[in-house]
Amino acid sequence: MSTIGIIGGSGLYKIDGLKVKEAIKVDTPFGQPSSEFIKGELDGREVIFLPRHGKHHEINPTKINYCANIYGMKKLGVDRIISVSACGSLKEEIKPLDFVIPLQLIDRTNQARQHTFFDRDVTVHVAFAHPFCDELSKVVADSLESNNLKVHLGGIYINMEGPQFSTLAESNLYRSWGADIIGMTNMAEARLAREAEICYVTLAAVTDYDCWHESHDTVTVDVIIENLNKNVENAKKVLRSAIPAISKTRKCSCADALKHAIVTRPEAVSKEAKERLSLLIGKYIK
């Protein structure tokens, strides 16, 4: 049975229509996740929900324990993750209240976020040329279209550090690179999801133009929050229609991402490391 994980970003702290079964506290070898995981059922599909910033948005993007969050999803049987994320637009044609399904990422974080499960004992070089699952991205994009919402399928997501927003010079630099949207959370999630052999897609909700836009001085926090709330309501509709459409079996390469990625010889991996990482490497290193 395929289990679908939903990671909620700014403004998304619960899912309408989710029949909640239990709240689960998950211990991981990487510390504590952002919150308890909410297990429930949505239109006949098992769903695990986690608010990445905590129940009350108390965790800033740099301080999120991404390893614990993704490991917890894996431990609970999740094999697909839809990440709902607020973002700023770097292009005129991508307007506030639009949605973007990016297919590429650029990392501009600088404070050593934990981006891998394999920082010691086992060396793993996972393929990451295409950081998002194409199959899952298509399902979510189709759901946006079926709900008559403006969707841009494709494009580049810049992951900045935060919590401050960009300088004008940075914003113009990212535009010169051809980037489409900017956010603060998705790179670490995507990398770790790939290491955990979980399909991952970002449902990016545009709240504003980044500071490059000539109208940025007229955009207030109130306007951004208003757009955020509208986007969250639309994102909930998209999740309701996307989740039943997700195939119960996977044909993509995400499911075997570690198959040719583990460099360390099995006999060189310690018993402790095998036990600590068994959830991730157990099917390859006994």
Span of 90-99, 213-222, 234-243, 274-283 with lowest mean pLDDT: 213-222
The model's pLDDT over 52-108, given as tens digits with 9 standing for 90+, comes to 999 989 999 999 999 999 999 999 999 999 999 999 999 999 999 999 999 999 999
The model's pLDDT over 26-47, given as tens digits with 9 standing for 90+, comes to 999 999 999 999 999 988 899 9
d(CA 83, CA 202): 5
Pairing of strands 181-183, 78-89: antiparallel
Q: Within 13 Å and on the Cβ side, how many CA atoms surround 232?
A: 17
Residue 4 lies in a domain: no
37 φ/ψ angles, rounded to the nearest 5 degrees: -90, 135
Coil, helix or strand at residue 220: coil
pTM: 0.95
The model's pLDDT over 97-153, given as tens digits with 9 standing for 90+, comes to 999 999 999 999 988 889 999 999 999 999 999 999 999 999 999 999 999 999 999
Residue 201 lies in a domain: yes
Range of the domain at 206: 85-281
Whether the pLDDT of residue 217 is over 70: the answer is no
Residue 64 lies in a domain: no
Whether the pLDDT of residue 219 is over 70: the answer is no
Residue 196 lies in a domain: yes
- Name residues whose C-beta falls within 8 Å of residue 198's C-beta, 6 or more positions apart in sequence: 5, 70, 73, 74, 78, 79, 80, 81, 254
Q: Which residues are catalytic?
A: 208, 210
Residue 37 lies in a domain: no
> How many domains does one find in the chain?
1
Average pLDDT, the chain: 93
d(CA 201, CA 131): 9
Instruction: Retrieve residue 268's tokens.
Output: 């060189």
Q: What is the CATH number of the domain that holds 173?
A: 3.40.50.1580
